[in-house]
Amino acid sequence: DQQVKQNSPSLSVQEGRISILNCDYTNSMFDYFLWYKKYPAEGPTFLISISSIKDKNEDGRFTVFLNKSAKHLSLHIVPSQPGDSAVYFCAAGGPNAGNMLTFGGGTRLMVKP
Amino acid sequence: GAGVSQSPRYKVAKRGQDVALRCDPISGHVSLFWYQQALGQGPEFLTYFQNEAQLDKSGLPSDRFFAERPEGSVSTLKIQRTQQEDSAVYLCASSLWGVSGANVLTFGAGSRLTVL
């Protein structure tokens, strides 16, 4: 029973264009959501988060959108840069959802120069 | 240290051997988590400590897996009688306090275990 799903295992975009990574969840007890970025042979690093009371959070080139009714969130990167090429993990958590972060399976983003 | 440190980075074990993986969290971080990441998948929760107390071990896949954090800082994940399905990257993460709010976990680079 996957509570957090990333249905696209990979995504390829051209440098300068927008990258959109998607994530769906099933547990309505989640009240905050995070995106992590992972390079090979390194641990995941925190990128951006959003609380369930908001529908958008922006940090520079990165924006996360949350649609609670659809149980869907997305990460927009604009403009995409070759250094953004990595695996992106969506994660969700909350004190009423087991007191840990639950991760999706990841999406590998490739930004072509 | 500045980040979460894990050792060894790579471990090859013969099936049936016991292994111990170490995690040094960020100094002062109360919460410590262990995750297992199989190839091509996302991290899966194993266990969670708040200081020295193991508050949740619901993700440990079998009684061959054991974790401890006796003094509330360094943690060790022990796997007894390793099996091939235990091959994975074991990630340790810590956070300043608890799990409420935007719980930003800081991860270590992981320990890659290969069981032959």
pLDDT greater than 90 at residue B1? no
> Is A51 within 8 Å of B102 when comparing Cβ atoms?
yes
Residue B102 is part of a domain; what is its CATH number? 2.60.40.10
What is the C-alpha to C-alpha distance for residues A47 and A44, in angstroms, rounded to an integer?
Answer: 9
User: Do B66 and B82 contact (CB within 8 A), yes or no?
Assistant: no
> What's the domain count of chain A?
1
pLDDT, one tens digit per residue, over B46-80 is: 999 999 999 999 999 999 999 999 999 999 999 99
User: Two tokens at A86?
Assistant: 């990595």
Q: Taking the CB of residue B88, how many other CB atoms lie within 10 A of it?
A: 20
> What's the domain count of chain B?
1
> Is B105 within 8 Å of A101 when comparing Cβ atoms?
yes
Average pLDDT, chain A: 94
Q: What is the mean pLDDT of residues B86-96?
A: 95
Exposed/middle/buried for residue B71 (C-beta within 10 Å: 0-12, 13-18, 19+):
exposed
What is the domain range of residue B85?
5-115
A10 in reach of chain B (CB within 8 A) = no
What is the C-alpha to C-alpha distance for residues A44 and A35, in angstroms, rounded to an integer?
Answer: 9
